[in-house]
Structure 1
Amino acid sequence: MSSSRMKVFRWKNCYADVAASKHGITVQSFFDDVIAPAICALEDKISALGRSGDPGDAFAQADMEDVLKETKMAFGLAIQSIWERQLRGYLRGCASELMPSNALAAQVTKANWTQLCELFLELRGIRLNAFPSFADLDTLQLLGNACRHGDGSSAIEVAMRCPELWRVYPPMPFEDQPRDSGLPPIALMDVPVERLREFVAAVAIFWDDAEYIYNESIERKHPSLEAKLARERTERNWRPQATPDGGA
């Protein structure tokens, strides 16, 4: 189908869309103003200990490296927690406004990740996995569970999807037993700060895409919004199209 005949996907706008307009800024600010400075401070301390001539500082450096690793895991959990609270709040707002008699808002509160994805489709008419950022958001959900609970099904899935989150250690001298070929424990995971940045970007991109759909769904648009959307339609990598039944 030619682009001229494609119909832009629209949903029924809610106040929840307005309330979510700053979510991307919030999570990006958390990274820029909290995560990045904290990690830089720890890395600087590790470097200073490494330059020290005090023999005891070699042990302190190793301890601080463990602190850094745990800090990055904690920040991974924090990013996932912010994202999940944002999404649940958004869906509760949509449910309360669009289907107040269906008790969907209560379902949102109790739903697991799979159920949240189903509720998103029911409430917004588009699959959550249609959003380009979904792959990272799905992995972020698993990472958060793994960081919160430790070894388990989520940690196994993260290890299968993202083996690069674990360091590869060379065999020890005179090691005569083969290394365990099983999946590595969560205690050895070391999340690169760049990966945290990518997760934050995925959350921000999701909310930016949601705002784009919101703007397209406004029935009577101000000329300035029409001009903005005209630019976005040519610049955006993703513009969801409506299916014959009105969904996407």
Structure 2
Amino acid sequence: MGDYVLFQMWGPYRASLIEQHKFYVKEARNRLLSRFDDIEADSDKAADEWLEASGKWFDPDNDDPGSYYEAANDVGIQHYQMLRDMREQTRLSVVAGMYHQWDKALRDWLVREIQHWHRGDNVRAKVWGADFVQIIDLLESFGWALRAAPYFKSLDACRLVVNVYKHGEGASLQDLKQRYPEFLHDPFAWSAPHFDRTAGI
């Protein structure tokens, strides 16, 4: 094909994609993730509110005050666990949205670029029907060593995390375990010092 350019990204378009990404990350942090900055205080407040609301039923002659405080503590722990789980779900939703936004922009760009030199009717369907590995294979077939690029591992790990979040157990989970185990947290792999710190809860 000589010196013919098959894929080209216009500078201002590239800059707008980067700006959209930065905006997404900044606003997700400010509007969503920051809501979980102090879940410990939120949990303490839930326990205090439960104790205050339950106090009207407390009978000092028949009720054990310790059991009320223990129940309030349980409410606080449960509230913390639910907020922690919600924080993780929110974080994963943000990452999934970010990844899908990137993936759609890439596929739109590929379709437009391919249509400059190939007018077939199936271009759009083929690009949108291809999986991530096939897209990377296509681009590498034109000489781009994407898998050797410094950003590829982060991108590939993000893809697998999003797929596991979306689909649960399956091929993506196995790939993630094998290639990027640092993204999987084992709740039973507590170290002794960590266990000792939480023993009194």
Alignment TM-score > 0.5, same fold: yes
Give 2:181's aligned amino acid.
P
Q: 2:174 aligns with which of 137, 156, 173?
A: 156
Give 3-state SS (helix, strand or coil) of 2:188's partner: coil
- Which stretches in structure 2 are left out of the alignment for 5+ residues? 49-71, 191-201
Q: Which runs of 5+ in 1 are unaligned?
A: 1-8, 172-248
Q: What secondary structure is seen at the aligned counterpart in 1 of 2:119?
A: coil
- Contact 2:28 2:94 survives alignment (8 Å): no
| Aligned length, in residue pairs | 163
Q: 1:82 to 1:28 in 2, by over 3 A?
A: same
RMSD across aligned positions (CA): 3.0
Residue in structure 1 matched with residue 135 of structure 2 by the alignment: 116
Which of residues 91, 101, 115 in structure 1 aligns to 2:110? 91
Contact 2:146 2:152 survives alignment (8 Å): yes
- Please show how residues 25-40 of structure 1 align to structure 2 within 5 Å: 25-40=19-34
Supply the distance in 1 between the matched residues of 2:107 and 2:100 (Cα, whole angstroms). Answer: 10
1:19 pairs with one of 7, 13, 17: 13
CA distance in 2, matches of 1:13, 1:115: 17
Taking structure 1 as reference, are residues 92 and 17 closer, same or farther at Cα in structure 2, changes over 3 Å only? farther
Q: What is the letter of the counterpart of residue 153 of structure 1?
A: A
Cα separation, 2, equivalents of 1:33 and 1:74:
14
Q: Distance in 2 between matches of 1:10 and 1:151?
A: 44
Report the CA distance shift for 1:37/1:162 in structure 2 as closer, same or farther (over 3 A).
farther
Which residue, 30, 35, 42 being the options, matches 1:49?
Answer: 42
Letter in 1 for 2:88: K
> Which amino acid in the other structure matches residue 144 of structure 2?
I
Q: Give 3-state SS (helix, strand or coil) of 2:144's partner.
A: coil
TM-score (normalised: structure 2): 0.68
The residue number in structure 2 matching 1:169 is 188
Displacement, 1:15? Answer: 6.3
Aligned to 2:199: none
Q: Which has the larger radius of gyration?
A: 2
Contact 1:15 1:93 in 2 (8 A): no
User: Larger RCO: Structure 1 or Structure 2 (Cα < 8 Å, ≥ 6 residues apart)?
Assistant: 1
CA–CA distance in structure 2, aligned partners of residues 10 and 38 of structure 1: 45
Kept after mapping to 1: 8 A contact 2:6/2:113 = no
